[in-house]
Amino acid sequence: MKKIKSISFVLLFAISGLTAQAQFGGLKDKLLKVGTAQGAKALGVDKFLKQPAAITTAFEDVNREGEKMPDFNAKAKFQPLYLLPKNPDGGFVLCEGFYEMTNKSYCLKAGTFAPSKGDGYMFAPVLGPKEEIVVAILKSAEKHPEVEQHDIQILLWTIIARTKFADYAGPVKLTALKLLTPKQLTQLEGGALGILPFDVMEKAKDQLPSGIKAVFEAENNIRQLVSSGNYTYADMEKYAIIAGMAPPRADVPSGIWTKHPDGYYVRYFPSGYSVTKVQVYVPKELLANGNKIVYDAAGDIACPANTGSQRLAQTNEPLEPNYSTKLVTVCNPK
């Protein structure tokens, strides 16, 4: 019975994909013929511009209350975060002290600059229409170590670009099927966009502020690549990552600490967008009265103060962990 349901599900998406392609093909032809902003508006293209981003997290979502400058506890010695007890639902059960981990991270904003030296990053939650899907992918990836980080990044870029699942083609579709449930796959259709023709793109960009144009164009290029089924990681990266460097903000230096809503302190040191060193400080009084505090990075974003840089989704997956070492702190979480 399960096998029949699975086949029916795949056939349903295949048929819906063909239908969507036929419908969008007609729209595309009309847009190419019209070629004017007025015609684009008449055919509903203005709605594309009003669609909310898949992930909306911005620096305005950072709570800076309780922040500490980089010299806070400057002489502290950090222990491996990944040696802390694992929580059954994911993440690590915190004990008092200082901990760090170099983990996989992911870009969540196409058409922006990669992290650079001097950028200040602070904690913010994953927010937006596709927040549940993004968190689900990061949590599912922990259980599927066989899925390459590059493949997961392509899937995230595809979602950030608001690509319809009916338009998925090539390896990214296989990644989505492996990491998401059938119900979650259907949620990829909501708020998704089709591919805008070149002429309409040019007209649409004229209506956008300069800081948003690059993101809008990058997302459309990613949608085109995904639907073609013929792309490499380098092809995707070319559109997602802008060459160069965004100037850092002086009021948010690299190494600044954010006070997390759960009471501990966290800071981020990205190395590019795919690797981040995270450091956590857990005050002794936070764990008074047997409080259990869990560090679960799957819902966390290292958010740049500079809006031209990338938001970085964090994970619970350490890179090159050394499990032969031991914690110095006696850790007995309840």
**30-54 per-position pLDDT tens digit:** 434 433 344 445 434 566 666 788 9
14-28, 119-133, 309-323: which range is least confident on average? 14-28
For 155-172, the pLDDT digits (tens) are 999 999 989 898 999 999
pLDDT surpasses 90 at 328: no
pLDDT surpasses 60 at 269: yes
Per-residue pLDDT averaged across 313-329, rounded?
A: 94
201 pLDDT tier (thresholds 50, 70, 90) = low
- Res 207: pLDDT: 67
- Res 22: pLDDT: 36
102-106, 116-120, 257-261, 297-301: which range is least confident on average? 116-120
289 pLDDT tier (thresholds 50, 70, 90) = confident
87 and 294 in contact (C-beta within 8 Å)? yes
pLDDT surpasses 70 at 19: no
98 and 84 in contact (C-beta within 8 Å)? no
61 pLDDT tier (thresholds 50, 70, 90) = very high
pLDDT surpasses 50 at 28: no
pTM: 0.82
63 vs 207: CA distance, rounded Å: 32
